Every structure is written in C-alpha cells, then in structure tokens.
C-alpha cells in the first residue's frame, strides 16, 4: 500500500513515530513499515522453501540508526517483544546489518522512520 493511501485511510495516525507494536491491527497493520516486513518474511519463506540454505529476515541500518536500534529501540520494547527480538537475533531468524554511511538509502529507518536522509514516499520493489 503506498504511503498516500495509508495516510488517507488513517489521517490521524502517526505511523512513523508510533512503535510498531502499537499500530492498529497489530502485525496485520497496513502501514508501510509492516508491509515491508511482511514482504521480507514472504521472500524469506520462498527462499527457505526452494533451497537448502536457510535465509533470514534482514534489517539494514545506517551506523546512526544501528546504534539507535541496538541501544534505544530494543531496550525500550515491552518485555515480551524485547525477549522475542533477542531470541530471534540469537538464533539467526533476524539478521541486523550495519551499513556504511554512504548506504543510508537502504536503511530501514531512513526509509520508514520519522527522520531520515532521503525519505521515500513509496515502498521499494522487492
């Protein structure tokens, strides 16, 4: 769903500044953040079903947002979500990649967060 469609359907909802677990509909929220994560999960399922090598959901962060995610976002999550995130990171179901400074165009938070270097108005094709 393009950002404009979502903002038209939910005019008073600030999806960029609201933690993902507080979004309407939970994991089925139609916001661009959840749509991107769903696409990553579906892609991972397809790769895992078709080969021997296991793939994982990959979150890419620029150096600034990597520190924010590791030092602020994960510790501030409610206990249940923090525990599931740490377990997923430990077993390799979620991979976190730290990008270089010049790669901020593929950073998750630069694309979908409240602040960013080059805000995109639509989701990139997978």
Q: How confident is the model at residue 50 (pLDDT cuts 50, 70, 90)?
A: low
48: containing domain? 3-112
Domain-embedded: residue 72: yes
Domain-embedded: residue 118: no
Domain-embedded: residue 125: no
Domain-embedded: residue 46: yes
| Residue predicted with more confidence, 26 or 50 | 26
Domain-embedded: residue 92: yes
Domain-embedded: residue 68: yes
Query: Contacts from 14-21 at CB under 8 Å and sequence distance 24+?
Result: 16/112, 16/113, 16/114, 17/114, 19/77, 21/77, 21/78, 21/81
pLDDT tens by residue, 55-83? 677 888 888 888 888 888 888 888 988 89
Domain-embedded: residue 90: yes
Domain-embedded: residue 119: no
Q: What's the structural domain count of the chain?
A: 1
């Amino acid at each position: 769903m393009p950002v404009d469609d979502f903002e038209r359907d939910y005019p008073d909802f600030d999806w960029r500044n609201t933690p993902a677990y507080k979004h309407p509909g939970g994991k089925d929220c139609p916001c661009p953040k959840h749509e991107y994560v769903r696409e990553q999960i579906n892609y991972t399922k397809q790769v895992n079903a078709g080969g021997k090598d296991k793939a994982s959901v990959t979150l890419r962060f620029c150096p600034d947002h990597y520190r924010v995610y590791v030092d602020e976002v994960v510790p501030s999550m409610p206990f249940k979500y923090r525990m599931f995130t740490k377990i997923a990171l430990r077993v390799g179901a979620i991979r976190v990649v730290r990008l270089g400074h010049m790669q901020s165009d593929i950073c998750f938070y630069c694309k979908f967060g409240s602040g960013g270097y080059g805000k995109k108005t639509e989701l990139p094709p997978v």
